[in-house]
Amino acid sequence: MPRVPTKLVTWEEIVDWSRGLANIIKKSGWRPDVIVAVARGGYVPARLLCDFLGVENLLSIQSQHWTEAAKAEERAILRFPYVVDMRDKRILIVDDIVDTGDTLITAEKFIRENWYPLDVKKAALQWISSVAKIKPDYYYIEVKEWVWFQYPWTRLEDVTSFIKRMISEEAKNGRIAWTFNDIVSSFREWYGIDVDKIYYEDALENLIEMGFLDRKDNLYIIKL
């Protein structure tokens, strides 16, 4: 079993899920005037929902809880808050997934208290019902057991974080040097997924630039 259960999500799945979510919203009889993407994960689903629902007005707000792949901060924070007048508007707040629910809770609270909308509803492609503090008004997939969904728009970011975590843990047992093939093999064991070679290469370059790794000949060496 992988140490961090991970599901690799494709672009095709994102489009299909977004269309399915849009159909659920349509059938409810409620239509938004404005869609607000929760940055950064909500950007793509929100834009697709605009297309499928025929909504022209798209804004975003950054409510952040996850600062590293599969590692949560203690609380969600709102970055770069701003105020707009939404007194006569129905707002749909969109995120990719509701795991803890903290990002949506923070975003909705701010919007209700500062934008004064006519109505607010929440939507996500996925809802992890076993751990979430809230249930969104609309969702496409209910996930009953926690898993880290690796979306295509965070592939390199997540692979970089995952490799860093993996190597850090192995270093505690005295291992300091890795070949490229070692890293790929261990990544598959740790996370139960595989990605294109270019993501491993770019992630390792990121870790070298960050000062976490050094490269000597064919070895990647952790900088202790």
Q: What is the pLDDT of residues 52-100, one digit of tens each?
A: 999 999 999 998 765 554 455 456 778 899 999 999 999 999 999 999 8
Cα–Cα distance measured from residue 59 to residue 38, given in angstroms and rounded to the nearest whole number? 9
- The DSSP 8-state label assigned to residue 153 in this structure reads G
Instruction: Read off the pTM.
Output: 0.90
Laid out side by side, the sheet with 34-39 consists of 71-79, 57-68, 34-39, 90-98, 119-128, 138-143
Give the side-chain half-sphere CA count within 13 A for 16. Answer: 6
Q: Are 133 and 103 in contact (CB under 8 A)?
A: no
Cα–Cα distance measured from residue 7 to residue 148, given in angstroms and rounded to the nearest whole number? 6
- pLDDT, tens digit, for every residue of 10-60? 999 999 999 999 999 999 999 999 999 999 999 999 999 999 999 999 999
pLDDT of residue 67: 52
> How many other C-beta atoms are found inside a 10 Å radius of the C-beta of residue 133?
11
CA quadruple 166, 172, 173, 175: dihedral sign: positive
Give the side-chain half-sphere CA count within 13 A for 182. Answer: 13
CATH architecture assignment, domain 153-222:
Orthogonal Bundle (1.10)
Which of these, 178, 164, 170, 190, lies nearest to 216 by C-alpha position?
Answer: 178
Give the chain's radius of gyration (CA, Å).
Answer: 20
CATH architecture assignment, domain 6-150:
3-Layer(aba) Sandwich (3.40)
Segment 110-138 mean pLDDT = 97
Which of these, 104, 83, 90, 92, lies nearest to 41 by C-alpha position?
Answer: 104
What are the residue boundaries of the structural domains of the chain, listed by start?
6-150, 153-222
- Asked whether the bond before 40 is cis by omega within 30 degrees of 0, the reply is yes
- Look-up: residue for tokens 């950007």? 43
pLDDT band of 222, cuts 50, 70, 90: very high
- pLDDT, tens digit, for every residue of 151-200? 999 999 999 999 999 999 999 999 999 999 999 999 999 999 999 999 99
